[in-house]
């Protein structure tokens, strides 16, 4: 598949300079090229890059950069120390794994898969082991990955036996003519691969079971009248997802997201996570992973809208995310992590918190939970 590359990021095409023996063609080409040069000279975006005309965000270009999240929502500041430590440890481990991949010259896709896999294996996050329960008391997992270099993608919804959905998403991306498999078809695709399979109750934890019980007692789902954005239910009752975005040493970007979805979700409910451009998106400019209220995130085609604000509106990554959160979504709806082609990282939310972490080749390394940290 030949990806669309925005003109301003396209490298020169050597085949565009074929010789012309015909004099008339030479004159026409000279006139066209001359005209083109005078037009581009007026366009600041196409001026050759030098220290004076490069925007500040591009000057401190990073060799590699990575960001991850473990879900956004109402996170109580009174969380006990032991629990807080579990989150910090989980974020730290996943960040270290992704960072090592990039430091050693691995690709953005490899870093995203390794990072998300670590979060999926950690039962404190709502993805892989530790996924929330559906209304029927089971687990149905969603995941997606996108390679910004090729714009190829792999997505799955309703997985029930795949230990690490992000690994299968990569297999869809790399070895299937299709992009998105659901339910039984997704399981059948898994049968044709060597991914590790588990019983559905592998994903269960006591804590999720208690949350499920509480949610059932309150008949609480996002689409029932009892649900409100500012409820005081703890984060994990409603939200939770994991995701990672990375820029590798070659300048390529990737995004991946994985989730158990929403506690007490109804039959076959699909969230934003596996919807390309909804909760997961990457191109040559930016990679985005979302978390939060999936229905709202997908209505706004959020990850792709952020990328479009950058490509067509010339907004920085951070501005694009803030516009999305403040002007298109409502308080309490979502959080995003992103990295652009220069290695700039942004992690923004309009919830009270988002488990998040980032690192880059300039030595910066942050691990955060609450909004105002």
Site residues, ligand ASP (CB under 6 A): 71, 239-241, 259, 261-262, 271-273, 279, 291-292, 294, 297
Residue 62 Cβ vs ligand ASP, minimum distance, rounded to whole Å? 27
* Nearest-10 Cα torsion for 258, 244, 230, 321: -130
Q: Alpha carbon of 180 to those of 172, 203, 315: distances in Å?
A: 8, 22, 30
For the question of residue 74 being annotated catalytic, the response is no
Specify whether the CB–CB gap between 105 and 249 falls below 8 A.
yes
99 or 259: CB nearest ligand ASP = 259
By three-state DSSP, how is residue 144 classified?
strand
Residue 211 Cβ vs ligand ASP, minimum distance, rounded to whole Å? 13
Q: CB 364: neighbour CB atoms within 10 A?
A: 11
- Euclidean distance between CA atoms 108 and 269, whole angstroms: 30
128 or 240: CB nearest ligand ASP = 240
Of residues 267, 237, 245, the one with CA closest to residue 335: 245
94 or 297: CB nearest ligand ASP = 297
236 or 284: CB nearest ligand ASP = 236
Locate tokens 């990806």: which residue? 3
C-alpha angle 112-113-117 in degrees, rounded to nearest 5: 115
Locate tokens 């991306």: which residue? 173
Q: Which residues are paired to 337 by β-bridges?
A: 289, 347
147 or 333: CB nearest ligand ASP = 333
- Among the listed residues 241, 280, 305, 351, the single catalytic one is 241
Angle of helix 108-121 relative to helix 165-175, nearest 10 degrees, comes to: 150
Residue 127 Cβ vs ligand ASP, minimum distance, rounded to whole Å? 9
Specify whether the CB–CB gap between 239 and 292 falls below 8 A.
yes
Q: Tell the burial category of 152 from Cβ atoms under 10 Å away from its Cβ (0-12, 13-18, 19+).
A: middle
Nearest residue to ligand ASP, using CB? 294
Q: How many residues does the chain have?
A: 373
Q: CB 362: neighbour CB atoms within 10 A?
A: 13
Residue 266 Cβ vs ligand ASP, minimum distance, rounded to whole Å? 12
Residue 279 Cβ vs ligand ASP, minimum distance, rounded to whole Å? 6
- Euclidean distance between CA atoms 309 and 312, whole angstroms: 6
- Euclidean distance between CA atoms 167 and 160, whole angstroms: 14
74 or 150: CB nearest ligand ASP = 74
166 or 285: CB nearest ligand ASP = 166
Residue 35 Cβ vs ligand ASP, minimum distance, rounded to whole Å? 49
Of residues 269, 8, 300, 273, the one with CA closest to residue 133: 269
Residue 282 Cβ vs ligand ASP, minimum distance, rounded to whole Å? 17
**Which positions are catalytic?**
241
């Amino acid at each position: 598949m030949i990806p669309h590359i925005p003109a301003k990021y396209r490298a020169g095409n050597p085949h565009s300079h074929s010789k012309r023996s015909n004099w008339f063609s030479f004159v026409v080409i000279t006139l066209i090229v001359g005209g083109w040069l005078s037009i581009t000279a007026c366009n600041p975006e196409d001026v050759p890059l030098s220290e004076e005309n490069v925007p500040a965000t591009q000057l401190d270009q990073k060799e590699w950069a990575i960001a991850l999240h473990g879900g956004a929502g109402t996170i109580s500041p009174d969380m006990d120390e032991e629990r807080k430590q579990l989150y910090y440890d989980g974020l730290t481990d996943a960040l270290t794994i992704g960072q090592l991949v990039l430091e050693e010259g691995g690709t953005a896709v490899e870093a995203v898969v390794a990072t998300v896999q670590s979060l999926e294996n950690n039962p404190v996050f709502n993805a892989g082991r530790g996924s929330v329960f559906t209304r029927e008391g089971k687990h149905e997992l969603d995941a997606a990955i996108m390679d910004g270099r090729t714009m190829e993608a792999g997505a799955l919804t309703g997985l029930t036996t795949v230990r690490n959905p992000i690994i299968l998403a990569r297999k869809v991306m790399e070895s299937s003519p299709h992009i998105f498999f659901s339910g039984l078809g997704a399981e059948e695709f898994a049968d044709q691969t060597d991914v590790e399979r588990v019983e559905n109750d592998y994903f269960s934890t006591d804590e999720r079971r208690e949350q499920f019980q509480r949610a059932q007692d309150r008949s609480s789902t996002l689409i029932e009248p009892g649900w409100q954005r500012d409820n005081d239910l703890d984060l994990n009752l409603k939200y939770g997802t994991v995701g990672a975005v990375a820029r590798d040493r070659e300048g390529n970007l990737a995004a991946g997201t994985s989730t158990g979805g929403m506690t007490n979700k109804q039959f076959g409910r699909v969230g934003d996570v596996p919807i390309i451009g909804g909760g997961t998106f990457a191109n040559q400019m930016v990679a985005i992973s979302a978390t939060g209220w999936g229905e709202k995130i997908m209505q706004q085609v959020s990850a792709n809208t952020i990328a479009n604000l950058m490509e067509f509106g010339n907004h920085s990554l951070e501005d694009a995310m803030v516009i999305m959160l403040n002007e298109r979504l409502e308080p309490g709806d979502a959080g995003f992590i992103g990295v652009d082609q220069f290695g700039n990282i942004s992690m923004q939310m309009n919830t009270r918190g988002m488990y998040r972490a980032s690192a880059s080749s300039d030595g910066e390394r942050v691990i955060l939970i609450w909004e105002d940290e």
